[in-house]
Amino acid sequence: MAKFAIRLLTLAIYAMALAAVPMVNTAKAAGGDSPSPATDSTKDKKKKNDKSSSIDDPKFIEGYRTAYATIYDRNDYASAIEQLKALGQDDRADVANLIGYSYRKLGDYKVSQIWYERALRADPSHVRTWQYYGLWQLEQGNRDQAQYHLSRIGQICGTDCAEYRSLASALEKPTGTGLVY
């Protein structure tokens, strides 16, 4: 009987602790050439792994911006993947998302999917990943899944953010147009 009471008390304390945790959902629209600050779980991993690169590290930021330019200015996706992996921060949502985007642009959809999902594990509110992964879904013919991604973006940043408008616009195009986003 005493063991049961202890278990019940432990469960009650755990439930109260969960209820006390604020349910804050911060929107992070990582749309620029600078990575967004890491979530708390990434910071904890950083402390455990003691990596020297971080969002505050000028060398990391410079490398990220170089890879960003390699993708969006030169469309050299293979080089960008190498540059991003060399940063040693591929568990960061911004980095994993750009790796996924690059693989998608190279036509490697299976590997791209892995990276998008990795980015969302790192930061479930990473708006740009929801957008890019939604476009990936459209390219695969998964309109229902793309619609789900659009709804997630709407929950995170509303319907006025660029990521929402971009995916909504892509969803308005007829199925089978063969467009790659």
Structure tokens at 16: 């109260």
Per-residue pLDDT tens over the stretch 11-59? 555 555 554 444 333 333 345 666 765 554 444 443 334 444 456 789 9
The string of pLDDT tens digits covering residues 80-108 is 999 999 999 999 999 999 999 999 999 99
Q: Which pLDDT belongs to residue 45?
A: 42
HEC string of 11-32 equals HHHHHHHHHHCCCCCCCECCCC
Identity of residue 177: T
H or E element, residue 103: helix 93-105
Query: Structural domains in the chain?
Result: 47-124 (1.25.40.10), 127-174 (no CATH)
pTM for the complete prediction? 0.72
How far from the centroid of its chain's Cα atoms is residue 13's Cα? 33
Q: pLDDT band for position 174 (50/70/90)?
A: confident
